[in-house]
Chains A and B, each alone.
Chain A
Amino acid sequence: MQADETLLRLEAVKKRFGGLVVLNNIDIAVGANELIGLIGPNGAGKSTLFNVITAIYAPTEGRVSFRGKDITGIAPHRISRLGIARTFQLVRTFLTMTAFENVMVGAVYGAGGRVKHATEAATAALELVGLSARRDMRTAHMTLSDRRMLEIARAIASDPALLLLDEPMAGLNPTEIQRMVDVIRRVRADRGISMLWVEHKVDAIMKVCSRVVVLDHGEKIADGTPRDVTQNRKVIEAYLGEPAA
């Protein structure tokens, strides 16, 4: 799908921890209503990339812009208010709150004033991920799968333009993975939210995404349709190693 408007743009982003270069010269552009899979072997720099976009880390070099506005290194809460929501690889919900209260945080604070009717937005978000029945359950008592769904509900309650999903399927069983795929498709179809989706379950990415970006050792080695990417020599080498001579 060709984007008519660029939401997020990373230009020559580099992140170094001491002598270790974790991200090197990364350029990525995310358009409106795009669903982009971000894959790569362990240590490729996927989570670091998310943390650079959401300003948990400042990039060593390069620029991150959102809707044409430079957002490099601004405070994380301002990133959320601008319209970039995220979930975490190690799920982070507010454990002493109910499911509804969790989602209210997104609707009240994450939205930065975009959401006029927070209660309605929170209720709709819970319904979209299928958690309406657990609305008043304390999060500490919820299953991992439900908490991952809750993180997505909290994110979409803030009415974001872009959602960053950090391994939403980690630790889920096949039934739950299918539920997650359905939810991700619904978020895009119903809300038109663009998504950048980091995942280890490559088959899920290939099935759902229209575009796939591959990182390896901090470098972007491929960017294209699932078909192009699976036939890319560098990608095959990154995952399987170099062919025996």
Chain B
Amino acid sequence: MSRASRWIAIVVVAVLALLPFLPGAVDAYYFSFLFFVSLYAVMAQSWNLVAGYGGQISLGSHAFFGLGAYTTAILWSGNHLWGSLYDSHPNIYYFDPVTMLLGGFVAALAAVLIGLPLLSKLHGDYFALGTLGFGEIVKVIFVNGGDFTGGAFGIVAPASSFDTLRPHYWVGLGLMVATALAIHALMRSRYGLALIAVRDDEMAASANGIDTLKVKVAAFAGSAFIAGVAGSLYTFYIFHVGPDSVFDLDWMLLPLMMTVVGGTGTLLGPILGALVMYAVFDLARIVVPDYHPVISGLTIILAMLFLPKGLMRVGKRLKTA
């Protein structure tokens, strides 16, 4: 990243961070819009890490998002497990960083457990289908989880904790910046070198001393960790975590599309894609509510036709043309 673009990024983040202090901003439409853009940008970064940089197309992001969301909801609202604490202090887990990290860790642990068998045996499309199957299995397990998961209805967290959207906005922005910085640092390190090597040529990577299974599982787990933390943040927003909401395929499909539109395997592509695509989705939802999936679908088709490598590479193409 050049000096100039670094300064631009710092200024943009600073302005966004100060935005909630603007009178009326918190109640404006664009405020919740920006919160959702940041949430989706984090999910897109999560997918980009394993698929864009790692070359392993995962279709299981929604499972890890849901695992993070459920972990938070169960910890927070598991009053049958540690009822007294919850009854006296209903807010105790609201935006608790440890709870959020645990959401990430549970998702990452699941990714390691499922990633070891899947990634050692399956490649390419087959791995993708395996992760899709895993998502369905997790959903069924949570539907049938009895009191522990709240069954088909899910778990309700104490919505009385809600006061303002400000903390959601700041945490979303913070996560978006933190994942981008972490992935930037990772890709400049020797681990990034191994990840790209595995993506470019797995056989050559292992012939050059790279333990390819370890690299792939680590990327899968890192991606799951990010998705789990995002799911945890969503719990603090939605307060009702149910199998149909947090295990919805949209939590995988939308970030995937956003990343592809923005630029797979680029640092800012997922953020740019999340901004552009969420704007298209939301605009279509408001202007033509009956047809909004059609508009969204058309946008994706057009993007694939005319920007097959994503928005981030348009500038590059213009420069070399």
B204 & A92 in contact (Cβ 8 Å cutoff):
yes
List, in ascending order, chain A residues with CB within 8 A of B204's CB.
Answer: 88, 92-94
A96 to B199, CA, bound (A): 9
List, in ascending order, chain A residues with CB within 8 A of B194's CB.
Answer: 105, 109
B193 & A108 in contact (Cβ 8 Å cutoff):
yes
Select which of A56, A96, A106 is within 8 A of B208 by beta carbon.
Answer: A106
- B132 interface residue per 8 A CB criterion: no
Stretch from B3-11, B59-67, B209-217, B222-230 forming part of the interface with A: B209-217
Scan residues 128-172 of chain A and give those whose CB is less than 8 A from a CB of chain B: 154-155, 158
**23 residue pairs from A and B, CB less than 8 Å apart:** A75-B211, A77-B207, A77-B212, A80-B206, A80-B208, A81-B209, A85-B207, A85-B208, A88-B207, A92-B201, A93-B200, A93-B204, A94-B196, A94-B205, A96-B199, A96-B265, A104-B193, A105-B208, A105-B210, A108-B190, A109-B193, A110-B208, A154-B208
- B119 interface residue per 8 A CB criterion: no
- B203 interface residue per 8 A CB criterion: yes
Instruction: Give the contact-size bracket for chain B.
Output: 10 to 19
- A73 interface residue per 8 A CB criterion: no
Instruction: Knowing A105-B194, A105-B205, A109-B194, say if A77 contacts B200 (CB, 8 Å).
Output: no
- A63 interface residue per 8 A CB criterion: no
Nearest CB of A to B89, in Å = 50
Scan residues 158-207 of chain B and give those whose CB is less than 8 A from a CB of chain A: 190, 193-194, 196-197, 199-201, 203-207
Select which of B190, B200, B209, B212 is within 8 A of A94 by beta carbon.
Answer: B200
A85 to B208, CA, bound (A): 7
Instruction: Knowing A77-B211, A80-B209, A111-B209, say if A101 contacts B193 (CB, 8 Å).
Output: yes
Max chain A C-beta neighbours (<10 A), residue from B197, B205, B207: B207
* Chain B interface mostly: helix
Instruction: Give the contact-size bracket for chain A.
Output: 20 to 34
A85 to B206, CA, bound (A): 11
Q: CB-nearest residue of chain A relative to B213?
A: A75
Scan residues 244-290 of chain B and give those whose CB is less than 8 A from a CB of chain A: 265
List, in ascending order, chain B residues with CB within 8 A of A106's CB.
Answer: 208-209
A96 & B209 in contact (Cβ 8 Å cutoff):
no
B207 & A80 in contact (Cβ 8 Å cutoff):
yes
List, in ascending order, chain A residues with CB within 8 A of B190's CB.
Answer: 108-109
List, in ascending order, chain A residues with CB within 8 A of B201's CB.
Answer: 92-95
Q: Which 7 A-B pairs have the closest CB atoms?
A: A109-B209, A92-B204, A94-B200, A110-B209, A80-B209, A110-B208, A76-B206
A105 to B205, CA, bound (A): 8
Knowing that A54-B207, A76-B207, A110-B209 are A-B contacts, what are 6 other residue pairs whose CB atoms are under 8 Å apart, sorted by A's residue number?
Answer: A77-B206, A79-B207, A80-B209, A93-B200, A95-B201, A97-B197
- A112 interface residue per 8 A CB criterion: yes
Nearest CB of B to A43, in Å = 21
